[in-house]
Amino acid sequence: MAATRGTGGEVVETSPVAVDAADEFAVVDGVRLRFRRMGEGPPVVLIHGASGNLNDMTFRLGPALSRNHTVFAFDRPGHGLSGAPEGGTPLSVQASLMRQAMAQAGVRRMTVIGHSYGGSVALAWALDAPASVEALMLVSAPSQTWSGGLGLTTDLLASPITGPLIARAAPLVVTRGFVARSLDGVFAPQPAPAGYLEHLDLALVLQPATLRENALQLDALKEEIRPMVPRYAELAMPVAILHGEADTTVGIEIHSVPLAAQVPHAQFTRLPGIGHMPHQVASDEILGAMARMRRRVR
């Protein structure tokens, strides 16, 4: 069982979900992090987005990259079977915990790939510890501030009043059909691949502590990004940016277009007709971008 912050701030033991035989764990500053290692070759860290866990990155992208790389897919702090420090999980803290876990695994320099919210974590990692990042890939990643909020559900779950109650109730009332319909919206205009929801493991996603932590992280995201924006010119490592033009979750024009201008040496790939999940529905384009970025590293 993994220790994580509970819905009311207390430390609780999480998840009735069985640990996969391939899982490894690292303890960093008292926080236990789950990761999965696959393949051989130059090291690559995969960071999943909001409402996810390492299973998202091991559905298609991780196995594909593992043909030529040693892939490390993490449960971000507060997600899956990874714990979260009681002081909170800002982008920089999440990056630091995973970076220290990689050091424990004997890896101090690597390619970092982040999808969606995980791309924001990857950006913080590269800004805080550039010597550890050989190359950086951002997929559908929030990188700028934006107008408005993130919706009523996130607001209610992040609230100290309603959040704990809703988080406890959600596993009892949320159906598989509701989640499947929500995934259709995230993947649109592409359908979610067959078997994806089963691989993601709904029991992990709907843990009360995870639901609460996810909302708190999203609620803080915009203000955590704000001080990062003026620093993007510091990113000297090879950078690849990939974004679907049909993404309605993280808008390409709001985020990746400005980022490509702020990091002029970045290779920017627009994906026509692709929604928010390129690593699941356009993995060949990501592998191609990875190969081009690796040539720049060499």
Burial class (CB in 10 A: 0-12, 13-18, 19+), 188: middle
Is the Cα dihedral 10, 15, 19, 24 positive or negative?
A: negative
Number of domains in the chain: 1
User: What is the structure's pLDDT at 298?
Assistant: 75
How much is the average pLDDT of 60-66?
97
Domain with 37 in it: 2-297
pLDDT of 157-209, one tens digit each? 999 999 999 999 999 999 888 999 999 999 999 999 999 999 999 999 999 99
What's the CA gap between 76 and 73, in Å, rounded? 9
How much is the average pLDDT of 108-126?
98
User: What is the structure's pLDDT at 201?
Assistant: 95
User: What is the structure's pLDDT at 21?
Assistant: 62
**Residue 297's pLDDT band (cuts 50, 70, 90):** confident
Residue spans of alpha helices (H) in the chain: 54-57, 61-65, 91-104, 117-128, 152-158, 163-173, 176-187, 196-200, 202-205, 208-225, 256-262, 278-281, 283-297
CATH number, domain with residue 60: 3.40.50.1820
Q: Of all residues in the chain, what percent carry a pLDDT higher than 90?
A: 86
User: What is the structure's pLDDT at 19?
Assistant: 59
- Taking alpha carbons only, the member of 138, 205, 206, 197 closest to residue 168 is 206
Phi and psi angles of residue 147, each rounded to the nearest 5 degrees, phi first: -90, 150
**Residue 58's pLDDT band (cuts 50, 70, 90):** very high
pLDDT of 82-110, one tens digit each? 999 998 999 999 999 999 999 999 999 99
What's the CA gap between 115 and 28, in Å, rounded? 23
